[in-house]
Amino acid sequence: MSTLTITANYRRHGDDWAVIVRAGGEELDATAPGLIAARLAADQLVDEIAAGSSRRAVVHLLDGDALAFSVAYLHTRAGLAPPVTG
């Protein structure tokens, strides 16, 4: 039984966050007013794109970078400003 690999790539979209979820040639997208809301939207898109798949792995990326997403998301969840990158 193989595992379905899914990516959820986030990026700033003006004042909002956009997320694109991709798996097996299929792509779904959403926009949300904050990173936490975008993460919740991504969960819904993952459920939709992986319907029928009991084994799945999701990698969350910020502009293609998994570590950058983790840092930004954890800072946001803790109520801290994300570190400035540049």
Q: Quick one: which of 83, 76, 62, 63 has its CA closest to 34?
A: 76
Q: What's residue 2's pLDDT?
A: 82
Measure the CA–CA gap between 60 and 27, rounded to whole angstroms: 14
Low-confidence ranges of the chain (pLDDT < 50): none
Q: What's residue 79's pLDDT?
A: 86
Instruction: Say what the pTM is.
Output: 0.88
Q: How far is CA 26 from CA 45, 55, 64, 83, in A?
A: 11, 17, 17, 33
Measure the CA–CA gap between 58 and 5, rounded to whole angstroms: 6
